[in-house]
A and B are shown apart, each in its own frame.
Chain A
Amino acid sequence: MSEPIVVARGLGKSYGQRTALTGISADIEAGDVVGVLGKNGAGKTTLLETLLGFSPPTEGSARVFGEDCLAMSAATKGRIGFVPQQDELLGMLSGRQQLAVTAAFHSGWDHALIDRLVNEWAVPLDRRLQTLSVGERQKLSVLTALGHHPELLVLDEPVASLDPIARRQFLAELFEMPETKARTVLFSSHIVSDLERAANKVWIIKDGRLHWQGEIDALKESVVRLHIRARAPLPSGFSIPDALAVRVDGTAATVAMSQWREERGEALARSLDAAIEVEPLGLEEIFVELNR
């Protein structure tokens, strides 16, 4: 087995007394599309930047393509594409000039691909970048990270300002790679529906820690909301194991829980002498429940 594309072990980052990130251990396998979800200030940007070695970790380590993130060779860096939350485009340049500057840094720049995307995404190339809208700049920023066919693409809130049609065009492009290479993607987004479409795995960051990681399908199958209706009033301190949030009202209760399995529902219904209805939850609801 070859080493995963990204390996983090006990990774953390503190700024003086403030801990932004701690104890992150996770792998990203080739071909994974990992979506990072977290509240504002949870540590998503710090995580992406620390994993790539832009900002040295204060605990633990990260390896990318088998190399320490702080000592990556130029060849390894050339296999990565990064789109920061705040674009780093040069405002005095036109889009055309910016793309030419970026292309000059890469030997295998795919001009045909970028020409096609400029056209499909309607990116204006002749105006100075400082006069473009936020959405137009985001599109251009993504283009600067795609032209060299990066095997690992890391995007920090890449499409927050794009309309739904532009976001779909962007998502479709995430999966476009020459057939011989697999693309691995790590991206943070507040647009949960994009994450549900594109990601096969999800990392949920809470207070600087990796609160949940795994397959998005497994998460959806594991976290549910139970609607419990018992014959007798439920006790005031009523709860069940693995409950994330409990609301009791007389004989009825609503419980969000993890580690759900159908057998547990049957056992619970028997022990409480209650009827239980199971509500599957979308990622947005799951995220809210996990952050209570």
Chain B
Amino acid sequence: MFILNPQSGIPIYRQLVAQVTRLIAGGQLAAGTELPSVRELAELHAVNPMTISKAYALLESEGLLERQRGKPMRVAARRRGQAPLSQRLQQLDRSITDLVLAARQLEVGKKELLARLGEKWGDDHE
């Protein structure tokens, strides 16, 4: 279900958070879907259960998963705009960093980049 590579420079819990976040955003993990238990996932990937718990707790704090008493975690019902703006912005941080880096490497100026962003934004939303 998930691809976890312990040898990666990206910590395992972050790999799991990123994948669950993407799968939920993409609709592959629908609201109400139960996730494997911490123990199952830890056993399957031969990793420390604490690592899986850490990822699940983070996903819960972001409102993506919800805990059910005595049952596995499940994907929370979608509540648009529920997370504070700062948290939603934080999710974009990595993409923004990559974008800025790529622009610098291509010697695309800030003005041109912002202009292009504006165009894109308009294309999709107006």
- Interface residue ranges, A against B (CB under 8 Å): 31, 33, 168, 171-172, 175, 192-193, 196-200, 216-217, 220-221, 224, 229, 262, 265-266, 269, 275-277, 279-285
Q: Which 5 A-B pairs have the closest CB atoms?
A: A280-B9, A217-B11, A196-B6, A275-B105, A281-B9
Known A192-B7, A275-B105, A282-B7; further 7 A-B contacts with Cβ < 8 A? A171-B46, A172-B43, A175-B49, A193-B7, A196-B7, A281-B9, A282-B8
The answer to whether B9 and A282 have CB atoms under 8 Å apart is yes
A sample of 22 inter-chain contacts (CB < 8 A) reads: A31-B50, A171-B46, A172-B46, A175-B42, A197-B6, A197-B46, A199-B48, A200-B51, A216-B11, A217-B12, A217-B14, A220-B11, A221-B11, A262-B93, A265-B97, A275-B104, A275-B105, A277-B101, A279-B9, A281-B9, A282-B7, A283-B7
Interface centre among B7, B9, B43, B97 (most CB of A within 10 A): B9
The CA-CA distance from A284 to B8 in the complex, in Å, is 10
The answer to whether A200 and B48 have CB atoms under 8 Å apart is yes
Minimum Cβ distance to chain A for residue B91 (Å): 14
Which residues of chain B are near A276, meaning CB under 8 Å? Answer: 101
Which residues of chain A are near B49, meaning CB under 8 Å? Answer: 175
Question: B47: CB under 8 A from chain A?
Answer: yes
The answer to whether B50 and A200 have CB atoms under 8 Å apart is yes
Interface centre among A197, A262, A266, A284 (most CB of B within 10 A): A197
The answer to whether A197 and B47 have CB atoms under 8 Å apart is yes
Which residues of chain B are near A269, meaning CB under 8 Å? Answer: 104
Within 8 A of A (CB), among B26-77: 42-43, 45-51, 54
The answer to whether B46 and A217 have CB atoms under 8 Å apart is no
The CA-CA distance from A171 to B43 in the complex, in Å, is 9
Nearest A residue to B93, CB-CB: A262
The CA-CA distance from A284 to B12 in the complex, in Å, is 15
Known contacts A175-B42, A217-B13, A269-B104: A280-B8 contact under CB 8 Å: yes
Known contacts A31-B50, A197-B46, A200-B48: A280-B104 contact under CB 8 Å: no
Which residues of chain B are near A229, meaning CB under 8 Å? Answer: 105
Known contacts A172-B43, A262-B97: A198-B48 contact under CB 8 Å: yes
The CA-CA distance from A6 to B11 in the complex, in Å, is 26
The CA-CA distance from A171 to B97 in the complex, in Å, is 37
The answer to whether B48 and A175 have CB atoms under 8 Å apart is yes
Point out the residue from B7, B10, B47 that lies within 8 Å of A198, measured CB to CB: B47
Contact with A along B80-94 (1 / 0, CB 8 A): 000000000000010
The CA-CA distance from A282 to B54 in the complex, in Å, is 19
Point out the residue from B6, B9, B46 that lies within 8 Å of A224, measured CB to CB: B9
Interface centre among B11, B54, B105 (most CB of A within 10 A): B11
The answer to whether A33 and B48 have CB atoms under 8 Å apart is yes
Nearest B residue to A224, CB-CB: B9
The answer to whether B13 and A275 have CB atoms under 8 Å apart is no
Nearest A residue to B105, CB-CB: A275
The CA-CA distance from A172 to B39 in the complex, in Å, is 10
Nearest B residue to A199, CB-CB: B48
The CA-CA distance from A200 to B8 in the complex, in Å, is 15
Known contacts A171-B46, A175-B42, A217-B11: A193-B6 contact under CB 8 Å: yes
